[in-house]
Structure 1
Amino acid sequence: MLPSQRSKKKFHHKSKNGCSNCKRRKVKCDELQPRCTNCTRFHLECQYDIHPVVPASSLAAAPIAPVKPGRGRPRKNWSSQAQDSSLRSHFQSEPRESPQSPETELNMAQAELLRQFIIFTGPNLGGSDDPNHPIVQFWSRDATLLAASYPYLLHLCLSLAAYHLAFLASNNSLKRSRYIALAKDHFSVGLIQTNEALTQIDASNCGSLSLSLARGTRLIRQLFEEKVLFSGLTEALGSGKAPPDDPRPTYICEGFARVDWTVSVGKLRDLIVSDALPRNDVFVRSLETLTNIYEATFGSEDGCIRCPLHYKMVLIWVYMMEDTFIDCLQTKDPVALLLLAYYAPLVQTVKRAWFLHDWADHILLVCKNQRCYEGLPSKTIRIMLPLGFAPELIDQAQVNSQNYQLKDEAAQNNMVSNLHQLETPGNLDKSTTDLRAKSHDIDKHWRDENEHELQHEWLGCKLVHILETVPEKWSAIWSSYAYKQRLATIPIDVGPSRLLWRGSLIKTRPAASSCYKTNPFDSPLKCNAVEAKWTQSMFHANLPESISSALYANNSCLPPGAQGYSKTVGCHLGGYPSYVVNATSDEQIALAVKWASERNIRIVVKGTGHDLCGRSSGAHSLSIWTRHMQRVKFDPNWIVPGTNKTDTVLIAASGLTYGDAVGHALKHGHVIVSGNDATVGLGGHIQGGGHGPLSSTFGLAADNIYQVRVVTTQGHIVTADTTQNQDLLWAIRGGGAGQYGIVTEYVLKAYPAPSVIETGFAISPRGNTSAAYEATWNAFSELLRLLPDLMDAGLAGAAVVQGNHKAGISISQGFYAFNKSQTATKNLAQMAIDRVHAFTGNDSSILSVVASNTTVYPTYKGFFEALNAGGSNQAGAYSMPSSRLLGRRETSEISQKRLISYLKRMLTNPDPEGSGMVVIGLQGGPGPANTPRSMQGALLPAWRSTYLHTMSYSLTLDTTLTPAETLAKGARDLNDSKEKLWQEWAPDTGAYMNEANPYNPSFKKDFYGVFYSRLLAVKEKYDPTQSLWVLSGVGSDAWDYSLDTGKLCRRI
């Protein structure tokens, strides 16, 4: 076509009020906001130089308005996504009831605002310049994660970011107008969606809805005008027109009588003014604000209501709290708590606008039950409140500085009297002044302890942070967790969604729930199956929450017939974790523990749950269950870090049992140092030291770790070996399990599988005479003196001794030897028999010594299978062990008389007619002593000179008591008998922490020895939030744990 033949371009009138895109393209703009039809069609940012006010309905409908065919074509620099008319923005006007993923990518304007929120606006909301501060990380990361799933929250976050940019662009009117327009658009749509979602609040969205009311104190004070801040409340509460016969607004008239508030507020003012402490000015200003709100709400003495929109003033008081006043609340200053209590009646008047029900009652309850003062005298502060609140006593009870266990919360039944019952205002107790003066003495300590506290900056949730709890009615949605210094409440739904945790989050459902009426926790297992398998270790190992020693889980939900079962107790969550992460990858664990530690939620680690001291479970905790981490690989040429040497290793995930790991190694003709029980998992056994059949030959399991992979509570996945994170490797080599991080993989030294010879003998009294009984004690003492020599000669094994000091004892001694001939092994055992006979005068009439058959196992596989032939059926037993490591100094090098006296006390039962049992493991000796220095770690140093691991089971626990009472009484009995014996007999050795009295008062010395302080430094480095707490663990003495309530509280 020639130029002269071209048709004339159709004329368009320029749009003076249209968006900038349409002006630039010179096409007609229909000026529909927040995005015109043309921009909606091409998914473009719609900008207006002048932003006229439009109805909320138009704003809501705009994002999904029908798209009309537009004229013109996109320019070259327009997004290629605009060519696809099927793409729609995920900013929908209709709220979603549950989290969903965004449907498309953000457009450029939205991406700009999201970047601004993540990098600048969000961190600014935290009120700290430290980018690693928990609240800063919360706003910059966690809030964004939720926003990605809840569109209304995303709109509000982008609105905040736009207001922030408008504030920063104050010198550029065009940019400022543009950002204000964007902010209003997002704010309007987000508010409409939030209001709709509020009508359908449940456990799935309560966290995001709470966060939708989010604000940052400093930022909002600078940016938000009152009409913007309270536009949603105005819409919700209406204009507040009062009936003609009453000057007050309708929402005050309904159900609230006119009362005289001036007397009690006046007495509070007199108290504050008369006090000369330095923060009086803060309290005076706060009280003046409250007085104005009271006057606006209930009228002055002349009965005049001066502010018909009082609800603005009520809610804005939260925003107007000075930082110093917030500090006073957080340090539990009594006067600050009184002022907060006086705020409660005002909250009641705006309950329709408050985001949680019953907050007025709740504020009073928390003020009443606040017991966080150390060393303060027991006093009461009597407060009289308007609105018919009955007089409430705020007890500032003295609390033992070593015990923060909160009392029974039955006081909740006496919260507040009927709102319509009026009481005459009373006097404020002058003892408030004394309490305040003493509270100043602990200010600095409180500040230091709360340095890493997560400070939720939410409207309403700000009071959650200050008050530390939520109303009882919301306990089903808001779960309680052990928090630093106190019991805090965090909505678990605020955290990463189940989708982000890849569907691994399991809500705890005790297996035996099916044995109770209505199956309260909806257990999928049949009761008869639970009853039949309750004593089997693998049954508990394969359940996410269950552990073998249910006593340490407060006997929570036991099946009928189990030890400790009581029908009247019923089924409850008790000492089990609230949620379990079924971990299958390091990344999964990293995300979960980072989320939990940042919220100071206790983390526990369970592999198979064999721990005899209950360290693989904990109330109100998040449990990391590693059972399904099953990676295993045999590598005969693994390069040792930092060297050019190779070695044979087994690379094993922590969820494996020894049956799995040893079985895999044996397929390649090798073995690893393992426990005797094939059902025991690697994790806790190895990190606690880990003895077994091969430990006297090759050292303990911890001595055979080349490398580990660990997930720290900060969410870091690290490798620890001799070239990197050496301190962490050192700690994991015997410094205790579940304390420094979650070990997900071990690289273990492997050895060629040996042949095994097994033999032994039995000793018992012959006849019921005192001479026969005494002969058994003499035989036992001589055997004990001989065992170190036998172990140096290559024997291992164990002895089981039963009886009491009155009737003598019976001894069953088993030996096994590796890669020895049958003759050599039998000769060593016969030498022991001859020595025992000789020491007792070779009098077979009073002593029976019978040799057992000798068994030859050509392969280690047959021997290991024989060890486990009977299965593991020790779960659910009521027992508390006490143990000691013994070397030559404690056996061969003391007098026979003294040794016999110790042995008799060792087998003494508190019941005069009862008998005791002792298991003596030949698990020390050459193996631990000869471990190369390069392979040694934090294992208790006494192991290097230990031969015998001696465990006493002479304590019978009382099954009629509660679990907490049972353990407390058992601990007292052990500490008064066995622990005193050990300290007298072997004061310089210690105990194997995996099989010891967990309530040993000397656990630091006996479990960790001289390494304790160094281990504490490692823990503080890799678990700075102390989220990993275990009984008798490193740093555990800084906390108190109540088995009855599950509350974990820091000591001060």
Structure 2
Amino acid sequence: MRRAALKSLLVALVARTAGGLLQPPVCFDLDQDVSVDQQVCWELPANYTYELGSLNATIDGRLRTSSPFSLPCFSNYNGISVDRDEQLCSQIQTNYRNHAFRVDSFSSSMNPQYETCIATGSQCLLDWRNPRNPEANNGISCELGGVAEFYIDVHNPGDVQAAYLFAAKTNTPLSIKNTGHDFMGRSHRRGSLGLWTHNLDAMTYHPAFTPESCDDSGSFRAITVGAGVTFDQVYKFAHDNDVLFIGGYSQSVGVSGGWLMGGGHGVLSPVFGLGVDRVLQIKIVTPDGEYRTANACQNPDLFWALRGGGGGTFGVVLESTHLVEPNIPIQIANISYNPAPAQQREFFEILVNDSVRWAGLGWGGHANRRGLVYMNPLLSPTEAQESMGNMTAFARSHGGSVNFNTLPWYDFFERYITEEQAPVGTLVTLGSRLIPKANFQTEAGRAQLVELLIKQSAALGFPNIIPLAGTPMSRLGVPGETSVTPKWRSALWHLVTTAWWNYNSTLEEIRGTYGRVHDMVQEMRKVAGPDSGVYMNEGDVYETNHEEAYWGENYARLVQVKRKYDPLGLLACWNCIGSQGAAAFPCYPRLDV
């Protein structure tokens, strides 16, 4: 019934708007940002409250009112005195930077600036460096910031269909969240109705899975996961079923969300491919009200778009099914070092000079200021140690440590990931570039890369270098098979730069931090080439020409698919396909002031 009602409304609205995009019904006071109009406002319909009540009844009471993640630590909310909850506040302070604790809250983000409206200063933050710092909350008013005021705890396709109907009738934008592990902040949007898929946590192991309507395509060992399942959950589930799931590097990343739809890289991708290379089937509710199965045999255009076009824009994914591998042993190279500035050049030269050879051998991993952790599912222990000879000699000569292990993936994950994964609860922005293999194949190209790394270290600290992690050198895929930028297939490094700020930083200081990252990404772009491409989930928030950087030649086709399944533009997010432009997202500060 909900689907039929939505279809009837869509027909009427498409005729009324002639295919134009609806605008979000929100009002923002932007008096702290003199670079834009003092207020951006769209009126809510007169029957908004009635429609909210009707929506809640339709979805069996699963409409929720949100509040800021850190509200229990404050005694003032939106200018009104409230009682602090000392017990809950203490839990929040203790777990402010804990992945699992944040995942269970709709209002939280792994990077809390996206809980705020940065451009207006509306926020409710603790001091991430010291969450018990009383200056962060004593006498400070807590505000909802950039979080949706209402959200649906999604349990089934009908919940999503009801949300689409509500959005179309009331002109309300929608936002989609599973875990909130999103460096772009796309899972929160002020003034939207949130769709929270966190509780879709079912997992199924298939010894022989055949995608629906693909009876002649063979069968595969696979795992199906609900949209709320995280990598720490699926890795344990796969291990218990004696298989290997190829995925991301952080515990709290959702398997079926933006990670997958934006490409999905990991440290085993050099051998086994990106997440988009391994997904066999996706079940999704598209904005036209249909609950669809997308695979190679059903809705293949949508399946193509979902494998690289990005999350939050083509529909609400409820589950996905992924190819798995035998639970093979993996060689681990854990090389620790603390190079002084005088030694950085030598380290960078080894890293640059050996990367092509390592790629051919199947190594994947990352290097940062704490050390180098690489893994390889192809080599023997002896071969692994021999292939890392130059780096181990460097580490030992400068007082470092070298350890080689042979471990199942899950044991490696438990032993190493908690220390090496991206931190949460911090106010951090990042930018990145895919560095083509061609840059490593000439003496001049290698020298230019070394100079870039030295410059990056001086400007923003030691870079986070992810050589091979996510660049599928051994699993190149079929050209045009997925919608990620084709530059993934010719890249050797995924190079990342980061910068932080404080809970009490001014708008000018925050702009400056974003600006420094943007400027460093421009330096990367000069070295890698203007068309070198970017991993969209870890790109610069203010990426220059993001359409070309994220999707390249695939962009025009992605726009066509978007218009087919979402003719009214009910789904939009920052720098996504059909994003509606910066004016629709006024909580992001402008840099050009």
- Counterpart-to-counterpart distance in 1, 2:159 and 2:455: 50
Q: Deviations over 1:834-860 (max 9, x none)?
A: 6x69xxxxxx9xx62745122221x32
- Counterpart-to-counterpart distance in 2, 1:817 and 1:980: 31
- Counterpart-to-counterpart distance in 1, 2:450 and 2:217: 53
Residues 233-312 of structure 1 mapped to structure 2, 5 A cutoff:
none
> Does residue 360 of structure 2 align to residue 792 of structure 1?
yes
Q: Deviations over 1:461-512 (max 9, x none)?
A: xxxxxx964xxxxxxxxxx5xxxxxxx7761432434221111100112232
SS in structure 2 of the partner of residue 739 of structure 1: coil
**AA of the residue aligned to 1:930:** L
Length-normalised TM-score, structure 2: 0.84
Q: Is the radius of gyration larger for structure 1 or structure 2?
A: 1
> Relative to 1, partners in 2 of residues 1:509 and 1:792: Cα closer, same or farther, differing over 3 Å?
same
Aligned mate of 2:268, from 690, 694, 700: 694
SS in structure 2 of the partner of residue 633 of structure 1: strand
- 1:739 is matched with which residue? 313
Q: Deviations over 1:653-704 (max 9, x none)?
A: 1111112222222222112211112222111211111111321111011111
- Counterpart-to-counterpart distance in 2, 1:597 and 1:522: 38
> Relative to 1, partners in 2 of residues 1:510 and 1:959: Cα closer, same or farther, differing over 3 Å?
closer
The 8 Å contact of residues 537 and 610 in structure 1, kept in 2 or not, is answered as no
**AA of the residue aligned to 1:701:** G
Q: Deviations over 1:524-549 (max 9, x none)?
A: 87211111111112222101222111
How much has 1:629 moved relative to structure 2?
0.4
Aligned mate of 1:864, from 397, 401, 413: 413
SS in structure 1 of the partner of residue 374 of structure 2: strand
The 8 Å contact of residues 74 and 137 in structure 2, kept in 1 or not, is answered as no
> Does residue 554 of structure 2 align to residue 1007 of structure 1?
no
The 8 Å contact of residues 651 and 746 in structure 1, kept in 2 or not, is answered as yes
The 8 Å contact of residues 513 and 522 in structure 1, kept in 2 or not, is answered as no
> Does residue 581 of structure 2 align to residue 1038 of structure 1?
yes
Residues 694-843 of structure 1 mapped to structure 2, 5 A cutoff:
694-762=268-336, 773-801=341-369, 812-833=371-392
> Relative to 1, partners in 2 of residues 1:818 and 1:490: Cα closer, same or farther, differing over 3 Å?
farther
- Counterpart-to-counterpart distance in 1, 2:572 and 2:9: 27
> Does residue 248 of structure 2 align to residue 675 of structure 1?
yes
> Does residue 16 of structure 2 align to residue 134 of structure 1?
no
- Counterpart-to-counterpart distance in 2, 1:990 and 1:1030: 20
- 1:535 is matched with which residue? 97
> Relative to 1, partners in 2 of residues 1:831 and 1:578: Cα closer, same or farther, differing over 3 Å?
same
- 2:425 is matched with which residue? 876
- 1:987 is matched with which residue? 530
- Counterpart-to-counterpart distance in 2, 1:968 and 1:997: 13
Aligned length: 552
- Counterpart-to-counterpart distance in 1, 2:317 and 2:281: 10
> Does residue 193 of structure 2 align to residue 647 of structure 1?
no
- Of Structure 1 and Structure 2, the greater helix share is in 1
Q: Deviations over 1:713-746 (max 9, x none)?
A: 2322111111221111111112111111111110
- 2:51 is matched with which residue? 494
> Does residue 149 of structure 2 align to residue 599 of structure 1?
no
SS in structure 1 of the partner of residue 403 of structure 2: coil
Aligned mate of 1:510, from 68, 71, 89: 68
How much has 1:785 moved relative to structure 2?
2.4
> Relative to 1, partners in 2 of residues 1:869 and 1:970: Cα closer, same or farther, differing over 3 Å?
closer
Residues 144-543 of structure 1 mapped to structure 2, 5 A cutoff:
406-408=37-39, 469=43, 480=44, 491-495=48-52, 496-517=54-75, 526-543=88-105
SS in structure 2 of the partner of residue 948 of structure 1: strand
> Does residue 181 of structure 2 align to residue 637 of structure 1?
no
SS in structure 1 of the partner of residue 221 of structure 2: strand
**AA of the residue aligned to 1:920:** I
- Counterpart-to-counterpart distance in 1, 2:99 and 2:222: 28
- Of Structure 1 and Structure 2, the greater strand share is in 2
Aligned mate of 1:610, from 168, 181, 193: 181
The 8 Å contact of residues 605 and 623 in structure 1, kept in 2 or not, is answered as yes
- 1:198 is matched with which residue? none
How much has 1:550 moved relative to structure 2?
1.4
**AA of the residue aligned to 2:350:** E
> Does residue 518 of structure 2 align to residue 975 of structure 1?
yes
Q: Deviations over 1:591-649 (max 9, x none)?
A: 12232134331111111111111111110111110010012111111124432411111
- 2:469 is matched with which residue? 923
- Counterpart-to-counterpart distance in 2, 1:533 and 1:873: 16
**AA of the residue aligned to 1:874:** P
- Counterpart-to-counterpart distance in 2, 1:522 and 1:576: 21
The 8 Å contact of residues 336 and 400 in structure 2, kept in 1 or not, is answered as yes
How much has 1:883 moved relative to structure 2?
0.8
- Counterpart-to-counterpart distance in 2, 1:626 and 1:131: 24
How much has 1:950 moved relative to structure 2?
0.9
> Relative to 1, partners in 2 of residues 1:897 and 1:681: Cα closer, same or farther, differing over 3 Å?
closer
The 8 Å contact of residues 433 and 524 in structure 2, kept in 1 or not, is answered as no
RMSD: 3.4
Q: Could you list the runs of 5+ residues in structure 2 that have no partner in the other structure?
A: 17-26, 28-33, 117-121
The 8 Å contact of residues 509 and 522 in structure 1, kept in 2 or not, is answered as no
Structure with greater contact order relative to length (CA < 8 Å, sep ≥ 6): 2
- Counterpart-to-counterpart distance in 2, 1:131 and 1:529: 45
- 1:588 is matched with which residue? 159
- 2:107 is matched with which residue? 545
> Relative to 1, partners in 2 of residues 1:897 and 1:135: Cα closer, same or farther, differing over 3 Å?
closer
- 2:20 is matched with which residue? none
> Relative to 1, partners in 2 of residues 1:408 and 1:796: Cα closer, same or farther, differing over 3 Å?
closer
- Counterpart-to-counterpart distance in 2, 1:982 and 1:656: 35
Q: Could you list the runs of 5+ residues in structure 1 that have no partner in the other structure?
A: 1-118, 124-128, 138-368, 370-399, 410-466, 470-479, 481-487, 767-772, 802-810, 838-843
- Counterpart-to-counterpart distance in 1, 2:448 and 2:422: 37
- Counterpart-to-counterpart distance in 1, 2:13 and 2:177: 27
- Counterpart-to-counterpart distance in 2, 1:927 and 1:668: 28
- Counterpart-to-counterpart distance in 2, 1:817 and 1:828: 11
> Relative to 1, partners in 2 of residues 1:746 and 1:547: Cα closer, same or farther, differing over 3 Å?
same
- Counterpart-to-counterpart distance in 2, 1:523 and 1:633: 42
- Counterpart-to-counterpart distance in 2, 1:406 and 1:776: 47
SS in structure 1 of the partner of residue 410 of structure 2: helix
- 1:274 is matched with which residue? none
The 8 Å contact of residues 597 and 713 in structure 1, kept in 2 or not, is answered as no
Length-normalised TM-score, structure 1: 0.49
